[in-house]
Amino acid sequence: MQKARIAVLISGRGSNMAALLYAAKAADCPFEIVLVAADSPDAAGLRLAEGEGIPALGFPKPTGKDKSQFFEALDLQIRKSGADYIALAGFMRILPSSFVGGWEGRMLNIHPSLLPKYKGLDTHKRALEAGDSHAGCSVHIVTAELDDGPVLGQTPVAILPGDTEDALAARILIAEHQLYSRVLAEYVQRDSQPEAILAQVRERAMALPRAEETLSHGMPCFGIEKGKKFAYFTKDHHGDGITALIVKTTGEEEQAMLIEEDPDLYYRPAYFGPSGWIGIRLDGGATDWDHVRDRLETSWRLIAPRKLADVF
């Protein structure tokens, strides 16, 4: 199993980072930690990471002027580490949109509240003052707005009579440590599980005019109602281990050109190859879904009756 590589960003004690790091020690954990970076060389979590043999970097605290340089240097180091994803774990910096944009959909954060409640700081205090029955924690995708991206998982934590901020925070932290590794594991696997990949294909194929889904020889496929097929989804066909989309090209010339251009992405599929269809691998990890959408549309156009193609 190819494990997803994670860079963890911390500011302080790094207990969530430690929880991720120890979860990653399980042989079947789908992620590994390749870098721990902090916005100060004194962050306690860095010592723990070093002790566990994980590359650990403490950047000098950025001051007003050099904030953008700090994020450029951080981004460079993260990319050098080979990380596929970033996990923010108590990283107390507002992220510039340029940094967030470079990791769109590949940066997660843990926040000690049941989002969308209590974004920002003092979450435990605010939950206590509001008289809530439950506080909790959330893992979400990071977007340019603070603590605002889509929530991937949450754990409610009961507020007990006489709770103080510290007592509540300590219980929520236990929940955080459980939640983060579980959600991160699910998230990094979403692009490698055939069912999840098919769902992504389906969403795009079915958005085309008069598309319908059927099965052909056990393969989910997409066609135009009462018409021809424009795409086939193949998963481990005859044990080939490949998850891919098969779509039509203009012919064998285009097919050969595409394969030459990117032999890791394209291949000549068995049976379909001689008729100019192309296989697009969807199991390489970082699928470009806009490209898949374009290819589906091209294929749809190649088989659509004139009248239909003209109005679309």
Residues found near ligand GRF in the complex (CB under 6 A)? 10, 12-16, 89-90, 110-112, 137, 173, 176
Minimum Å gap between C-beta 138 and ligand GRF is 9
Tell me the two tokens of residue 223: 């066609």
Minimum Å gap between C-beta 209 and ligand GRF is 45
CB atoms within 10 A of CB 208: 19
User: Is beta strand 151-158 parallel, antiparallel or unpaired with respect to 56-58?
Assistant: unpaired
Minimum Å gap between C-beta 299 and ligand GRF is 45
The greatest distance separating any two alpha carbons of the chain, rounded to the nearest whole angstrom, comes to 74
d(CA 114, CA 138): 6
111 assigned to active site: yes
d(CA 283, CA 193): 8
Choose between 110 and 258: whose C-beta lies nearer to ligand GRF.
110
What count of Cα atoms within 13 Å lies in the side-chain half-sphere of residue 183?
A: 25
Choose between 44 and 256: whose C-beta lies nearer to ligand GRF.
44
Which of helix, strand or coil describes residue 148? coil
Choose between 112 and 223: whose C-beta lies nearer to ligand GRF.
112
Tell me the two tokens of residue 96: 């510039």
For residue 32, CA distances in Å to 26, 29, 175 come to: 10, 8, 21
d(CA 188, CA 301): 33
Minimum Å gap between C-beta 287 and ligand GRF is 30
Q: Which residue is nearest to ligand GRF (CB)?
A: 90
Tell me the two tokens of residue 79: 């990319």
Shortest CA distance to 233 belongs to which of 248, 243, 223? 243
Place of tokens 């374009």: 294
User: Is beta strand 219-224 parallel, antiparallel or unpaired with respect to 229-235?
Assistant: antiparallel
Place of tokens 């098919």: 198
Choose between 187 and 233: whose C-beta lies nearer to ligand GRF.
187
Q: What residues contact residue 13 under an 8 Å CB cut-off, 6+ apart? A: 43, 44, 45, 90
Q: Which entry of 111, 124, 140, 177 is annotated as an active-site residue?
A: 111
Place of tokens 């050099």: 66
Minimum Å gap between C-beta 111 and ligand GRF is 6
What count of Cα atoms within 13 Å lies in the side-chain half-sphere of residue 223?
A: 11
AA letter at 302: L
Choose between 45 and 269: whose C-beta lies nearer to ligand GRF.
45
Choose between 15 and 40: whose C-beta lies nearer to ligand GRF.
15
Minimum Å gap between C-beta 173 and ligand GRF is 6
By annotation, the residues acting in catalysis are: 111
